[in-house]
Structure 1
């Protein structure tokens, strides 16, 4: 098994706690409403949403994937940290055991946020990661973050 790590940062004019509430704490409700082409349905399969919980995401009609399940590894509302691991679904394909994500939202100097993300692809056997595929996945996540950001900017009274 190999582990391939990718890092990224995304900036946002939205303050950290507000972005965290929308992007992490209520994403299962918000994303299907504002981006149904990306996520058709999200549900809590096991647990209360905290560490140890399992969430199932059913992707929208235009997605190349059907679903994924992820395990919540860490959720810290004070430090604005959310870590989870994709443990099941066609996102993993034949060559991946799991994909772990570490996300932290920090304040930027202009009153907005910096979203710091690390993804670790855990492969089966000697399977190699296609870096272009990993970059595409990161770009899709960045687009979704911008959709959520746009919603928050258009609705300044939500998630305060």
Structure 2
């Protein structure tokens, strides 16, 4: 099985703590709700809610880049405070390809577009609902 790794940084207009709560602790609830055309469900396979070593399985909707070409995707995200109300997400994403699949430039661009849509949907939700994830 072949693997490709890509790095990207995203400036997020919410605090590191707020982003972490939404994008790690509650992502399993948010993504199926906010981007149901990409994510069918998410469940914990090992560990839970942001503990080191936790594994969360994402079931994507049928078709598309992820289900056709990839065996699995591993994403590591580092949350760095940029200011009290902004942070930078530094992401390393490993795409593990199915046997015989060749990853083209257009596939890379599609993957980045999907990742951007995930983050934009969550950030729009957070900005539109400032009361969520503000306590404990």
TM class by shorter-chain length?
A: 0.7 to 0.9
For the residues of structure 2 that align with 1:128 and 1:33, how far apart are their CA atoms? 32
Secondary structure at the aligned position of 2:131 is classed as: coil
For the residues of structure 1 that align with 2:35 and 2:23, how far apart are their CA atoms? 12
Structure 2: state its 5+ residue gaps.
Answer: none
Which residue, out of 71, 93, 107, partners 1:133? Answer: 107
CA RMSD of aligned residues (A): 3.0
- The TM-score with structure 2 as length reference comes to 0.76
Structure with the higher fraction of residues in strand conformation: 1
- The TM-score with structure 1 as length reference comes to 0.66
Deviates more, 1:36-45 or 1:134-143: 36-45
- Cα displacement string for residues 36-85 of structure 1 (whole angstroms, at most 9, x for unaligned residues): 2222222224443534444332224xx525xxxxxxxxxxxxxxxxxxxx
Secondary structure at the aligned position of 2:108 is classed as: helix
1:123 deviates by 5.4
Query: Residue 23 of structure 1 corresponds to which residue in structure 2?
Result: 23
Structure with the higher fraction of residues in helix conformation: 2
* Higher RCO (CA-CA < 8 Å; seq separation 6+): 2
For the residues of structure 2 that align with 1:52 and 1:91, how far apart are their CA atoms? 27
Query: Residue 156 of structure 1 corresponds to which residue in structure 2?
Result: 130
Structure 1: state its 5+ residue gaps.
Answer: 66-88
